[in-house]
Amino acid sequence: MRTENATPQSWGHYPTVKPAQVTPIFWRNELPDLTNVKQPLLPFAYGRSYGDSCLNEGGITLDMSHLRRFIAFDEQAGVLRCEAGVSLADVLELVVPRGWFLPVSPGTKFVSIGGAIANDIHGKNHHKAGTFGRYVISFELLRSNGERLQCSATENEALFRATIGGLGLTGVILWAEFRLKPIVNPYIVMDSIRFESLDEFFDISAESDHDYEYTMSWVDILIGGAALCRGKFMRGNHNQEAALATKPVKKQFPLAIPINLPTFVLNSLTVKAFNEVYYHVQREKRVHKIVPYDPFFYPLDSIHEWYRLYGKRGFLQYQFVVPFTTGHDAMHDILGRIRKSGEGSFLTVLKKFGDISSPGMLSFPRPGLTLALDFSYHGKKTLALLNDLDTIVRQSGGVVYPAKDARMTPESFQAYYPQWHEFEQYIDPHFSSSFWRRVTPSEVALLPVNG
């Protein structure tokens, strides 16, 4: 097997672990022989997961980023088939000028199709569209015994559902076919509305969910008091004017953060100061504008390697969803606990998930209130805070997102995802990840398949 030297890292740069080997996959007709491997295998694409679900300490990382070709595009039906290492950015470049868009998109376009399926990703339109997995028609899965299985809702159906949201553990997705969404032009009509409390967030959400395809909010959680938080509610729809279809979209030139900033730069005081400025920079209660899709969907992509803001020790993201029935109380307890800790979350995003069910066995999204937070890694203090948040999320009937986790305990994972037992039977016996070994007692077979 051919190998590479670079050590794969996830976006949070915590934890840092070394695989025994990195094996690139270049061609679908020239696949590495996985039948005699001695270490656990795991696919890795662009490392846009935050924690260790894409990492494989001591194992063999299969680098999918070279498997990046389009295979077929039915421009009438809006169905695309491509290799699993094709990024969402590649897809957008191909399909937007032809009047199509991604059915679901996360907060960055530098995610592979394989990664989008393996984490059954969600986007700003979850309340209208559900998860990415709902749009996957079929894919081909390479198993460690050399089998190549076509999977769809009618063929190898259980493996299809296990692979969607299956954290890369069921085998290697070589290519996938999925449905796109028609658009008239590349622009979004959007509103940004300031809100002063969690209750006001709920009010604006209630009035927006029906008419707006995309909703999400930036929130300042450090204000304290009965309001609980304040923020900006963004909502938008695809613009419908045919005349804009030919209006050129200005290209974004990303800024770069050339070095890791010192850890002390982001603390609760600087985060408070940033929040104050960001909240007040929009003077009007509501701003209405037409913008290209890029800054609406991917504002963070305009800063290259922004994880460097958090310094050399990296950061942890924490995303949970709690049911609407317990959402208000959970938010009260969680935000209170964060304020008490003195830790500040620099980027905090709040959204309501809808009730469109996910096809994946282990998928994270479900109806409720979801909050994503970023914390600089300050060792035990940060870990203790997140353990306490886990207790509140569990007691509230919620779950935490594995794609963004680097530290949850086996007890928490197994309580959040009791279906992991059912899922386990579809894991390829030679596949595993640092995450999976941390949260389950399962042993990975380390002996050669044919040995």
Ligand X SMILES: Cc1cc2nc3c(=O)[nH]c(=O)nc-3n(C[C@H](O)[C@H](O)[C@H](O)COP(=O)(O)OP(=O)(O)OC[C@H]3O[C@@H](n4cnc5c(N)ncnc54)[C@H](O)[C@@H]3O)c2cc1C
Segment contacting ligand X (CB under 6 A): 31-39, 46-54, 266-274, 328-336?
Answer: 46-54
Contacts of 425 (CB under 8 A, 6+ apart): none
Spatial CB neighbours of 298, under 8 Å, sequence gap ≥ 6? 107, 108, 109
**Between the CA atoms of 58, 409, 338 and 197, what dihedral angle is there, to the nearest 10 degrees?**
110
Candidate ranges 44-52, 72-80, 338-346, 407-415; the one touching ligand X (CB under 6 A) = 44-52
Min dist. Cβ of residue 116 to ligand X (A): 6
Q: In the bound complex, what is the minimum distance in angstroms from residue 44's beta carbon to ligand X? A: 5
Q: What are the two backbone dihedrals, phi and then psi, of residue 124, each rounded to the nearest 5 degrees?
A: -65, -15
196-235 residues near ligand X, rule: CB under 6 A = none
Least gap, CB of 57 to ligand X (angstroms): 13
| Closer residue to ligand X (CB): 195 or 435 | 435
Q: Which positions from 141 through 200 interact with ligand X, judged by CB under 6 A?
A: 167-168, 172-173
Question: Site residues for ligand X, window 356-395 (CB under 6 A)?
Answer: none
107 sits near ligand X (criterion: CB under 6 A): yes
Using rule CB under 6 A, residue 45 touches ligand X: yes
Quick one: which segment of 14-22, 118-126, 189-197, 333-341 binds ligand X (CB under 6 A)? 118-126
CB of 404 vs ligand X, minimal distance in Å: 7
Query: Which two three-digit tokens encode residue 330?
Result: 């959970």
Closest CA to 115 of 187, 55, 54, 58: 54
Span 85-104, contacts to ligand X by CB under 6 A: none
Contact status, residue 51 vs residue 11, Cβ threshold 8 Å: no
Smallest distance, ligand X to C-beta of residue 15, A: 14
Query: Quick count: other Cβ atoms within 10 Å of Cβ 284?
Result: 9
Chain Cα centroid distance, residue 358: 15
Instruction: Give the torsion through C-alpha atoms of 340, 341, 345, 350, to 10 deg.
Output: -50
Alpha carbon separation from 303 to 106, 258, 316, 387 (Å, rounded): 16, 11, 18, 30
- Nearest 5°: phi and psi at 412? -65, -50
- Beta carbon of residue 427, minimum distance to ligand X (angstroms, whole number): 12
Q: Which stretch binds ligand X (CB under 6 A): 121-129, 146-154, 217-225, 283-291?
A: 121-129
**Per-residue contact string for residues 279-318; x = within reach of ligand X by CB under 6 A:** ---------------------x------------------
Determine the Cα–Cα distance for residues 311 and 325; give it in Å rounded to an integer.
38
Contact 402, 167 (CB under 8 A): yes
44 binds ligand X per the rule CB under 6 A: yes
Amino acid at 73: F
CB-nearer residue toward ligand X: 114 or 314: 114
What is the closest distance, in whole angstroms, from the C-beta atom of residue 123 to ligand X in the complex? 6
Question: Which of 39, 49, 215, 239 touches ligand X (CB under 6 A)?
Answer: 49
CB 432 within 8 A of CB 55: no
Parallel/antiparallel/unpaired status of strands 21-24 and 60-63: parallel
Residue 114 lies near ligand X (rule: CB under 6 A): yes
Q: How far is the CB of 115 from ligand X (least distance, A)?
A: 2
Stretch that binds ligand X, among 39-47, 149-157, 186-194, 240-248 (CB under 6 A): 39-47
Residues near ligand X, by CB under 6 A: 11, 42-49, 53-54, 64, 84, 106-108, 111-112, 114-116, 118-119, 121-123, 167-168, 172-173, 300, 403
